[in-house]
Amino acid sequence: MLRLGTREFGENEPVIMAIVNRTPDSFYDRGATFRDEPALDRVEQVVAEGAAIIDIGGVKAGPGDEVTAEEETRRTVGFVAEVRRRWPDVVISVDTWRHEVGEAVCEAGADLLNDAWGGADPRLAEVAARYGAGLVCTHVGGARPRTRPHRVTYDVSEEQGGVVGDILRVTAGLAERAAGLGVRRDGLVIDPGHDFGKSTRHSLEATRELGRMTATGWPVLVSLSNKDFVGETLDKPVKERLTGTLATTAVSAWLGAQVYRVHEVAETRQVLDMVASIKGHRPPAATRRGLA
């Protein structure tokens, strides 16, 4: 059972986490939700489309202009409070690696801290524990925040197990450390970190072997949406990666991932519903064919 905020999600219940960037330079939406009103309109839309979690980010993941902790706080805290006021039952996640930002957003009503940089600030887990918030534990291969991978390699010996072996060790280690600090075990999620500290081949392998992550028993989050590994695999620019993203989503769902961080909510919902029905976890919406 995964428990975040006021919501409980069953083991076989896929969960959509919709991205709402409070940045002027996002790689995908180019600042479309930087201002409050478009961002609130986006929340209203994605909740209607089936998102259970809203993931709010105040800093672009890749390199760019410096964003201080104070500026990141300014971009996120007031917005978190307003989303909490308007949608009291939605799960609010904040994509941050900084403990001081985590503290401020939890005070404002955040339910989940999405640590996309894999414990770069070890105090973030302490904040999650103190506020009863959930925590996403991500594999980044030792990369520092806002850096791109450069000639990344993993030891492929039988003992080390290459990129997947490293993913399993690191994410489980981060989750156990967080639990030891007092983060609720039913609020912990692990993420293989597609593109983070990885080449395209590494991200493809992480997807292919995702069943090894789900077998750990920790709920698995995948952040696949329009990422570079999809673009490089299909040789497509950012705005033409939806088909590849949805194909990767279907594979991840079949292999047992539970949480999906996405830009396109409605399309993802259909893919997840279809896979759940094929697996026998969801009845078809209609079963008229062949019965008349």
- Note the pLDDT of residue 100: 98
Give, as one character, the DSSP assignment of residue 137: E
Specify the number of domains making up the chain.
Answer: 1
Write down the residue that tokens 């396109």 correspond to. 264
Closest CA relative to residue 255, chosen from 226, 215, 196: 215
- The yes-or-no verdict on residue 277 having pLDDT over 80 is yes
Angle between helices 200-208 and 162-181 (to 10 degrees): 70
Domain presence at residue 169: yes
In this structure, is residue 289 part of a structural domain? no
Percent of the chain with pLDDT over 70: 100
Say if 217 falls within a structural domain: yes
pLDDT for 101-131, tens place per residue?
Answer: 999 999 999 999 999 999 999 999 999 999 9
Work out the average pLDDT over 25-40: 91
Cα(188)–Cα(9) distance, rounded to whole angstroms?
13
Q: Is residue 219 part of a domain?
A: yes
**Contact call for residues 223 and 210 (beta carbons, < 8 A):** no
Give the pLDDT of residue 34.
94
**CA atoms of 217 and 202, how far apart (whole Å):** 22
Q: What is the pLDDT of residue 28?
A: 85
Portion of the chain with pLDDT greater than 90, in percent: 97
Whether the predicted pLDDT of 148 surpasses 90: yes
| Residue 134 falls inside a structural domain | yes
Per-residue model confidence (pLDDT) at position 174: 98
Q: What is the pLDDT of residue 27?
A: 84
Structural domain for 225, as ranges? 2-12+95-279
Cα(224)–Cα(221) distance, integer angstroms: 10
Q: Which residue from 143, 93, 150 is spatially nearest to 117, judged by alpha carbons?
A: 143
pLDDT surpassing 90 at residue 175: yes
89 within some domain: no
The answer to whether the predicted template modeling score (pTM) of the entire model surpasses 0.85 is: yes
Question: Residue 242 is part of a domain; what is its CATH number?
Answer: 3.20.20.20
In a domain, 52, yes or no: no
For range 38-67, the mean pLDDT: 97
User: Residues 8-30: what's their mean pLDDT?
Assistant: 94
Nearest residue to 46 (alpha-carbon basis) of 104, 95, 109, 92: 92
Strand-pair partners of 53? 17, 91
Contacts of 16 (CB under 8 A, 6+ apart): 46, 50, 51, 52, 53, 259, 260, 262, 265, 268, 269, 272
On the question of pLDDT at 292 being above 80, the answer is no
How do 91-95 and 112-115 pair as beta strands?
A: parallel
Per-residue pLDDT tens over the stretch 187-227:
999 999 999 999 999 999 999 999 999 999 999 999 999 99
CA distance 288 to 292: 7
Flag whether 114 is in a domain: yes
